[in-house]
Structure 1
Amino acid sequence: MPVTITAVLFTLIGIALAAGGAQLLMLGGSAYYLITGIAFIVTAILLFLRRAEALWLYALIILGSLGWAILEVGLDWWQLGPRGGVIIVAGMWLLTPWIRRPLGFVSPNTGHRYSAGAAPLAASVGLAVLIAVISMFVNSNDLSGNLPTDKIAAAPALGGNVPPGEWHQYGRTPYGQRYSPLDQINVQNVSDLQEVWRYQTGDVKLPEDVGETTYQVTPLKIGNSLYLCTPHNWAIALDATTGKQKWKYDPNVGLNPDRQHQTCRGVTYYKDPQTAAGQPCAERVYLPTSDARLIALDAANGQVCPSFAENGVLHLEQKMPHNPAGYYYSTSPPVIAAGKIIIGGAVNDNYSTQEQSGVIRAFDVNSGALVWNWDSGNPTQTQPLPEGQKYTTNSPNSWSVFSVDEELGLVYIPLGNQVPDQLGMNRSENVEKYSAGIVALDINTGADRWMRQFVHHDLWDMDVPAQPVLMNLSKPDGAMVPALVGPTKQGDIYVLDRRNGEPILPVTEQPAPGGAIPEDRTAPTQPISALNFRPPTLQGKDMWGVTMFDQMVCRIRLKQLKYDGQYTPPSLQGTLVYPGNFGTFNWGSVAVDPERMVMFGMPTYLAFTSQLVPRSEVPPKGQDEKGSEQGLNRNDGAPYAVRMGPFLGPLGIPCQAPPWGYVAGADLRTGKTAYKHKNGTVYDMTPLPLPFKVGVPGIGGPMITKGGIAFLGAAVDNYLRAYNLTTGEQLWEARLPAGGQATPMTYSVDDGRQFVVMVAGGHGSIGTKPGDYVIAYSLPRR
């Protein structure tokens, strides 16, 4: 009976592999699955006939599969496992007495039944197991090396006038370096970090909230106060030493299902030099909200400052071309420079061609009066618009964080794309120029001083998501150059002269795939930076699964998609987009050490798919629709909607093989990557809490200290980790009560202790556990 059942099972396996393998072969893929499927069927027939040759044939299946797998992926355990798991388990089953005895023979002399000989099968199974064990100790995906430790800049430019123990802006200073000059916590003692306090905001994700309700805030530290916001835009002040709440302000933004995002990345602090200390609103916190308001609060008590705008509230829907309720808001904190508060805004991706303007506006920081406006659809008219005139409909926007160099008089704006992201027809000359790049605007007038584009004719949602990082960089001849470091979704790190946007590290143009739909076009070339973390083009051997079956399905799906490498244009059949919409880097940006002139980042690799849907085939509103990275994006008013999402296999896991996430360090003077290590485990990705370090996706950002430590949460397992900046080695980790998709920060308190603070609240898009936690860590008291 066991032999018959096994034969039936082998038949089913063989039919599945042969059918899928034949389809894959016709699509131009590997012949392995078809050959192996046929071999399984022949093995099944031999089992039905009780022939011992079944064991010999199966030994050949194991050896052939092992050789094929090693030729494809080498000794990569996470790639070998799915290829060999089913085959090795089946081989072990064939070695049992219940199978071998019926396949044996009866002695004519004694009448005793002997089991079939299985030495070749046992040897092949043993060899496969040995190879599997060896592969567990081979780290085939890592790049090991050291960043330089020399202090190149004795007195590095950090930007602004921020005391060492404070954190005044989203990236600590106007330069956005995410670097602290504190060094009490260092490589030698970081493993001793302990939690010192924990605060819960009370702002939790509700069942009726939009899916993209996320907690991405980086708190500010001024004096002995922390200032932060929550997903529903509460502003909160905490005692920096104890974590006790000082005040809380709720702007009552309500719930709006039209909002694509419900989040707040931070607030903006300002000290008015014209108002005496201790007077009302001498120090302020500006709060952006998801109902398109900017509210000025007294930093001392959280009360609204009535002298700003209309009783303390600036309404950002002014002069917008359409009703912006739910479709326009600012998710990132504005910047303040030269007496102006400068703010952009997020528009809902791919809802409609009648989106709000992506205008950047500068308001008087005290009165709220409009000083200038820069609209990428109408870039030369920077004076406030006259009565009756509106901003340009659907011009490229900037939803991320700006950086400022007040000495140069420039604010640096990361630009997005015009909606719909995947359709480029009918874009104006201005839109083609001012999108998917960084523009430098004059702080006082809003005039465009330079523009550097990172994607031409963007059809892939490759908006620039990260705050540009400013630093002074030493060139080989010793000259110090004011530099800008610009991380991108496509994996490039652009290092530019921030005075004029010219490359410091080389930027070249490379040929890009064609084949757009008839109504559209593609750019013949796309830029690439000498410093980049772009992944290689995906191939069939890169497909993955829990078993050989879902891996085979992923290979078939890869062949069915239009894919000629990075920048393959959107299509009706479906296109593979890699890097995907989450990007290699996102709003978490990178952190730089301006003394050592090195950077630390978290490159992530997750392929997406996009398929254009003709308007006539788009279902009625309310059915299968989203305006986000997953599902049907309607693009009302355009000839096509787009259906998009991660490239997943039948079991809902990525079709591409891990690692999906790394930590990496690079020398910004040479453009060389020193190390790239797998980051994060599947602990919170699977039903069982497995600690396997495969390198998982993440979204969030790092922070560096002078103590030689890089801190990072972000990964989809719920941990805050500390790394040796020089080597990338993990030195410490703390379990978080929710997803840590935010950027940590650090500061010191009056008794001299250095604290590290992390917000843990989860992220809607990647499905990490929601929460409302603010947690501080420090070394034990001595």
Structure 2
Amino acid sequence: MAIVITTIVMGLLGLALTAGGAYLVSLGGSVYYLITGIAFILTAVLLYMRRPLALLVYALIVVGSLAWAIWEVGFDWWQLGPRGGVIVLLGLWLLTPWVRKPLGFQSPTGNRYPVGATPLAVSIMLAIIIAVGSMFTDPYRIDGELPEESVAAAPAMGNAVPPGEWHQYGRTNYGQRYSPLDQITVENVDQLEEVWRYQTGDVKLPEDVGETTYQVTPLKVGNSLYLCTPHNWAIAIDATTGEEKWKFDPNAGLNPDRQHQTCRGVTYYADSAAQPGAPCSQRVYLPTSDARLIALDAANGQVCPSFADQGTLRLEAGMPYNPAGYYYSTSPPVVAGGKIIIGGAVNDNYSVRSQSGVIRAFDVDTGELVWNWDSGNPTQTTPLPPGQTYTPNSPNSWSVFSVDEELGLVYIPLGNQVPDQLGMGRSESVEKYSSSIVALDINTGADRWVFQTVHHDLWDMDVPAQPVLLDLAQEDGTMVPALVGPTKQGDIYVLDRRTGEPIIDVTEEPAPGGAIPEDFTAPTQPTSALTFKPEPLQEKDMWGISMLDQMVCRIRFHQLNYEGRYTPPSLNGTLVYPGNFGTFNWGSVAVDPERQVMFGMPTYLAFTVRLVPREEIPPKGADEKGSEQGLNRNEGAPYGVYMGPFLGPLQIPCQAPPWGYVAGADLRTGEIAYKRRNGTVYDMTPLPLSFKVGVPGIGGPMITKGGVAFLGAAVDNYLRAYDLTTGEQLWRARLPAGGQATPMTYAVDDGRQFVVMVAGGHGSVGTKPGDYIIAYALPRN
């Protein structure tokens, strides 16, 4: 019976490999699967005939597959496993007496003896030895060290923030995510323990949109932490004990047309002209998902009625269209020069009748509009007269701004015009400002300079991250005001923030053509000398749990249009790599302004995009509006678009890991010092396995003067600490939910340094939702 079952399995596997392999060859792919499929069929036939030659043929399959696999991918265990796992397991089964005895010989006394199988045993042993050895190699790892010396003894960090506090999203308005606290060090970070845990009570609801996420970085002022929740509650808690001080619910409600239900942070402001202790002398500004900005008294959470209309500013004012749920701010505004400056998120790919991406500055005390900068009408920055509206569907900014008050500039990361994948009909100003970093005058809103990171963007490569500011040392000893701009496509642009001119070289590289007839592609695209862009995918990079789903991914790879980065969208289907999540996203990077180095989490996931003519789009469905997965309807445009991660039949990425790293780079030289796989599959598989594959993530890092970098973000639920110099993981703490937020740190009155992490999960990456705020510190002496 055993040999009959084995024969059937071998035959079926051979037929599948032969059929799939033949199709793959017809697409220009590898002949391995066709040859191996035929060999499997031959093995099955020999088993059926009870011929010992079956074991020799199978030994040749093992040896040939091993040689082919090493030729393709070297000694990468995660690549060798899918190629040889099934083959080795079947080989071990063929070595068992239940299979070998029917192939053996029968003695005159009637006893049957197993056939010899030395060639097969040797080949299997060789394969196992190579597989085990490859577990201790990592061909993708870069080992090196960042310089440890302090280049700038007293670096500029932005606005004045006490060392033990955290006043803005990135601690200061420079967005460095760097703390001068040094109690926690490389030597003692492994002693961190949980101090307190607070639950907000704001949990994901069954009727929530899929993109319900918890991405907040709390602020720390005095002895209070200020934060928001996915449903836009504002909360203050005691920074030492984690006890709630006050909670404010704006009653933003639920709306299925919202693409995102999240809040990345609130904005703190202290009115220097007010009497200390006076009502609303210190304020917290809360953006909501129903397009409001609300001013709250930081002392008690009461609404400040002197701001705007009884404490509430309505951001839909001046918009050309106003379907509820299509426009709101997911990121905290910035305060500079007596103004609160805010952008907003426009739903991606819902409709061409979308709101403007206007950036507006309001008087921080009264809420009166001071200026507006609309990338569709960039020269008219004075407040619009009654009855006039902003430009529909102009590029928007949904991420966090940075500010240099000495230069009088606010730095805006700009997105794309909806629809993201269709570029026909864009205006001259849209072509200029789309997917760029723009420096605006704080006082007037006029643009001082613009640096475009993608020309004629057809891939949703909006600039997602807060630009990071620092003063960068030059070889001649001078300090240049610099800006570090991480991008989805993997380039890190280091610019002179006075002019937008590159400090680290930027070159224009040829880009693929082949857009649909109504559209066009830019002939070149910019690339920074400091880049984490991935190598172009090849067929050998396709992956799976087994050789069968890997073969399917190889077939799919050849079916899609792909000529490397910036292959344009198509009716056939296009592979977009890096994909829509980007190499870097809103989590940005953390920068040490003293050592002049950066720490980040580059992520690599391919997406697919397929344009659909309007007449072929199916009737409107509940989940077919606009998102990173599924059908984006693009109402009013000639095409919709199907998009999503490039996944295999088992819904795992078709591209081989690693999908995520931690990395460090020297900002003075532009050199990448190290890249290490980050994260495990512990929360990605039915079994809790801690294989360090290098997993994707979304969130941001934080650095301390103690030489430690902290990062959650990965799709396994951990907060981790790393040696900033080497990237080595030093400590981790298990989180009760996904850690897709950016950690922060501060000091309390007794001198202890706390690290705080929000654990609430992320709808798009599928991590566990929650409502946790957790503080860690070293044990008391």
Structure 2 CA distance, aligned partners of 1:744 and 1:463? 24
Task: Report SS of the residue matched to 2:521.
Answer: coil
Q: Does residue 1:429 correspond to 2:428, yes or no?
A: yes
Task: Report SS of the residue matched to 2:390.
Answer: coil
Aligned to 2:698: 699
Aligned to 1:117: 116
Structure 2 CA distance, aligned partners of 1:83 and 1:755? 47
Structure 1 CA distance, aligned partners of 2:4 and 2:699? 54
Structure 2 CA distance, aligned partners of 1:626 and 1:394? 16
In structure 2, do the counterparts of structure 1 residues 189 and 526 end up closer, same or farther at CA, with 3 Å as the change threshold?
Answer: same
| Structure 2 counterparts to residues 319-338 of structure 1, below 5 A | 319-338=318-337
| Structure 2 counterparts to residues 318-357 of structure 1, below 5 A | 318-357=317-356
Residue 117 of structure 1 and its aligned partner are, at CA, apart by 1.6
Residue 139 of structure 1 and its aligned partner are, at CA, apart by 2.0
Structure 1: runs of 5 or more not aligned: none
Residue 461 of structure 1 and its aligned partner are, at CA, apart by 0.1
Aligned to 1:767: 766
Aligned to 2:607: 608
Aligned to 1:132: 131
Structure 2 CA distance, aligned partners of 1:699 and 1:202? 23
Residue 51 of structure 1 and its aligned partner are, at CA, apart by 0.7
Aligned to 2:48: 48
Number of residue pairs matched?
A: 781
Structure 2 CA distance, aligned partners of 1:84 and 1:201? 48
Aligned to 2:311: 312
Equivalent position amino acid for 1:29 in 2: G
Equivalent position amino acid for 2:398 in 1: W
Equivalent position amino acid for 2:603 in 1: T
Equivalent position amino acid for 1:131 in 2: I
More divergent stretch after superposition (193-202 vs 472-481):
472-481
Equivalent position amino acid for 2:567 in 1: T
Equivalent position amino acid for 1:40 in 2: F
Structure 2: runs of 5 or more not aligned: none
Task: Report SS of the residue matched to 2:384.
Answer: coil
Structure 2 CA distance, aligned partners of 1:111 and 1:337? 95
Residue 114 of structure 1 and its aligned partner are, at CA, apart by 2.9
| Structure 2 counterparts to residues 229-248 of structure 1, below 5 A | 229-248=228-247
Check the 8 A contact 1:343/1:360 in 2, yes or no.
Answer: yes
Q: Does residue 1:39 correspond to 2:13, yes or no?
A: no
Residue 626 of structure 1 and its aligned partner are, at CA, apart by 3.3
Residue 323 of structure 1 and its aligned partner are, at CA, apart by 1.2
| Structure 2 counterparts to residues 520-559 of structure 1, below 5 A | 520-559=519-558
Aligned to 2:648: 649
Structure 2 CA distance, aligned partners of 1:519 and 1:96? 63
Aligned to 2:69: 69
Task: Report SS of the residue matched to 2:43.
Answer: helix
Structure 2 CA distance, aligned partners of 1:497 and 1:364? 29
Task: Report SS of the residue matched to 1:510.
Answer: strand
Structure 2 CA distance, aligned partners of 1:742 and 1:129? 41
Residue 325 of structure 1 and its aligned partner are, at CA, apart by 1.2
Structure 2 CA distance, aligned partners of 1:480 and 1:767? 44
Structure 2 CA distance, aligned partners of 1:426 and 1:411? 29
Structure 2 CA distance, aligned partners of 1:348 and 1:660? 27
When normalised by structure 1's length, the TM-score is: 0.99
Structure 1 CA distance, aligned partners of 2:128 and 2:74? 15
| Structure 2 counterparts to residues 321-720 of structure 1, below 5 A | 321-622=320-621, 625-720=624-719
Structure 1 CA distance, aligned partners of 2:161 and 2:110? 93
Residue 107 of structure 1 and its aligned partner are, at CA, apart by 4.3
Residue 324 of structure 1 and its aligned partner are, at CA, apart by 3.9
Check the 8 A contact 1:283/1:300 in 2, yes or no.
Answer: yes
Residue 111 of structure 1 and its aligned partner are, at CA, apart by 5.2
Structure 1 CA distance, aligned partners of 2:287 and 2:99? 70
Equivalent position amino acid for 1:77 in 2: W
Structure 1 CA distance, aligned partners of 2:780 and 2:121? 60
Aligned to 2:300: 301
Equivalent position amino acid for 2:5 in 1: I
- What does the per-residue CA deviation read over 1:85-113, in whole Å, with 9 as the maximum and x for residues that have no partner? 110011111111111111122346x6543
- What does the per-residue CA deviation read over 1:523-565, in whole Å, with 9 as the maximum and x for residues that have no partner? 0000000001000011111111111000000000000000000
Residue 347 of structure 1 and its aligned partner are, at CA, apart by 0.4
Equivalent position amino acid for 2:640 in 1: A
Equivalent position amino acid for 2:560 in 1: L
Aligned to 2:3: 3
Structure 2 CA distance, aligned partners of 1:122 and 1:527? 54
Structure 2 CA distance, aligned partners of 1:641 and 1:308? 42
Aligned to 2:80: 80
Equivalent position amino acid for 1:279 in 2: A
Structure 1 CA distance, aligned partners of 2:107 and 2:250? 89
- What does the per-residue CA deviation read over 1:253-312, in whole Å, with 9 as the maximum and x for residues that have no partner? 000000000000000000001111110000000000000000000000000000000000
- Residue identity (%): 80
Q: Does residue 1:262 correspond to 2:249, yes or no?
A: no
Structure 1 CA distance, aligned partners of 2:101 and 2:245? 78
- What does the per-residue CA deviation read over 1:176-232, in whole Å, with 9 as the maximum and x for residues that have no partner? 000000000001110000100000000000000001010000000000100000000
RMSD: 0.8
Structure 2 CA distance, aligned partners of 1:106 and 1:753? 80
Check the 8 A contact 1:82/1:544 in 2, yes or no.
Answer: yes
Aligned to 1:158: 157
Equivalent position amino acid for 1:309 in 2: A
Equivalent position amino acid for 2:51 in 1: R
Check the 8 A contact 1:317/1:324 in 2, yes or no.
Answer: no
- What does the per-residue CA deviation read over 1:620-655, in whole Å, with 9 as the maximum and x for residues that have no partner? 112651311000000000000000000000001000
Equivalent position amino acid for 2:256 in 1: P
Residue 479 of structure 1 and its aligned partner are, at CA, apart by 1.3
Check the 8 A contact 1:543/1:551 in 2, yes or no.
Answer: yes
Aligned to 2:202: 203
Structure 2 CA distance, aligned partners of 1:722 and 1:178? 15
Structure 2 CA distance, aligned partners of 1:773 and 1:230? 10
Structure 2 CA distance, aligned partners of 1:465 and 1:753? 34
Task: Report SS of the residue matched to 1:287.
Answer: strand
